[in-house]
Amino acid sequence: MILTDQQRWDTTGVHGNPADVTPEFDRIARTGTHVEQALTPQPVCAPARASLQTGRYPTATGVFRNGIPLPAGMPTIAEVFGAAGYTTGYIGKWHLAAGASGDGPVAPERRGGYQRWLASDLLEYTSDAYRTVLYGEDGETVRLVGFRSDALVDAAVRFVADHHDRPFFLFLSLLEPHHQNATDDYPAPEGYRERYEGRWMPADLAALAAAAPHGGPHRHMGGYLGQIKRVDEGVGRLRDALRSLDLTDSTVLAWTADHGSHFRTRNDEYKRSAHDASVRVPLALTGPGFTGGGLIRRPVSTADLMPTLVEAAGLPVPEGVQGRSFLPLVGGGDDPGRPEEVFVQISESHVGRAVRTDRWKYAVAAPDGDPWEDSGAARYVETELYDLWADPHELDNLAGLASHRKIADNLGEALVRWMVRVGETPPEIEPAPVRDAGGRHVDPEVRQLPWGGLPFGHRATTGRPAE
């Protein structure tokens, strides 16, 4: 399992990025299984990571914001594999100990059941680009050499080489392409930032960059892409190690991110919004059960990844797991009963909830409460509605338009169902204030259909046919 930090989905070539930053990820996606629309259950580090470890949503783990430890006694993916005889290992950034022993060392009881350990709870505070400081199984300080992502990949290669003769589960958690907190910069190896400066800017950031402080996206994109390029090269080396040990055909490899980044264009920091820039992430898998699996087009939550990997190994999924294995979708299969929408929780910037379908994004926010103290709310107000087929960069908020009231009502009902499903109390959702269409052209056929579905033969403004 490879986890990058703060990597946008559209940094990959299979999503149309022209900068050629991720040839290795693209190979995994094209020859393996590519989840085209993967979404994190929470666009904040600790909640997203707790969900990946447990297959539960942030409010169910209790880790609804940063600074809350992963509770003991909740089954994790490491414990499942460990109980089945696998050697389990964790390398890199953890962010689930809540600073109980400071920024770096993590006590054994707070390691989520991992047996082998080389990590730092807050790697962004114990390392820099060329000074990678981690902590071993006895809490000892370990200094790795080389560029940070290279150093962690080297450690992963050593783990694979040392444990290749028995089943293993390794979780490699990289910091890149997260910014370096102390300097608010994206340090890349020499020449890598320069290679990508001015090469590519996603449309949402280009449109909103003027509102970002200190040049935001334009200042940082070169280093951000340079970091991802180096990570991609490192994953290629890790796959070479698997190949040299004849493990390629017997090893599942998954690559995703905890959340994305909007580069301070949607609020005053990098994530913590319901926009795809924050919640949509890359996700591709290869190996037994996934090689040749093709494209999964429907939206999938990364909360589904834990049960998917467990089932792929033929192991039982623990009770209480809320994610749903997407193995039935691999190879073009169907999964009757799977909700059409993916559920997202928001904290720290505000208490929010959202659902996303293939076409629609619907978000609400609590007008009261403290987003650092309150995991949820009894009352929410609609804040956003986007037609992703016509407006994939979420620049035209349709919330409050009478023409889209029925669509918002249906999505609101789906949101409440999701909240109940993960253990939340059904809330009151107030409609967004009614406003004029402002000259928009609204198709009357779309206006009358639940979920904004298109009648047979009708095409969205993007030219995409109805499904």
How many angstroms separate the CA atoms of 177 and 6, rounded?
6
Residue type, 194: E
Token pair 């990590």 in the structure block, residue: 119
Helix and strand totals (H; E) in the chain:
13, 19
Are the C-beta atoms of 81 and 363 separated by less than 8 Å?
no
**pLDDT-derived band at 181, boundaries 50, 70, 90:** confident
Report phi then psi at 413, rounded to 5: -65, -40
Which CATH number describes the domain made up of 350-452? 3.30.1120.10
pLDDT given for residue 441 in this prediction: 46
pLDDT given for residue 440 in this prediction: 60
> Does residue 453 carry a pLDDT above 60?
no
pLDDT tens-digit series, residues 194-210: 999 999 999 999 999 88
pLDDT tens-digit series, residues 249-299: 999 999 999 999 999 999 888 999 999 999 999 999 999 999 999 999 999
pLDDT given for residue 269 in this prediction: 86
- Determine how many CB atoms are found less than 10 A away from the CB of residue 2: 24
Nearest to 412 by CA among 467, 338, 349, 343: 343
Please provide the DSSP assignment of 84-132 as one string: TT-EEEEEEE---STTBTBSS---GGGSTT-SEEEEETTHHHHEETTEE
pLDDT tens-digit series, residues 208-227: 988 787 778 999 999 999 99
Q: Give domain limits for the chain.
A: 2-329, 350-452
Token pair 């990678």 in the structure block, residue: 132
- Of 54-58, 314-318, 456-460, the one with minimum mean pLDDT is 456-460
> Does residue 101 carry a pLDDT above 80?
no
Which CATH number describes the domain made up of 2-329? 3.40.720.10
Mean pLDDT of 432-444: 69
> Does residue 452 carry a pLDDT above 70?
no
What's the predicted TM-score (pTM) here?
Answer: 0.92
**Distances in whole angstroms, Cα of residue 152 to Cα of each of 130, 175, 214, 235:** 11, 10, 31, 10
How many angstroms separate the CA atoms of 108 and 88, rounded?
13
- Determine how many CB atoms are found less than 10 A away from the CB of residue 462: 12
> Does residue 442 carry a pLDDT above 60?
no
Are the C-beta atoms of 133 and 140 separated by less than 8 Å?
no
Roughly how many angstroms between the first and final C-alpha of the chain, as a whole number? Answer: 32
> Does residue 466 carry a pLDDT above 70?
no
How many angstroms separate the CA atoms of 288 and 32, rounded?
9
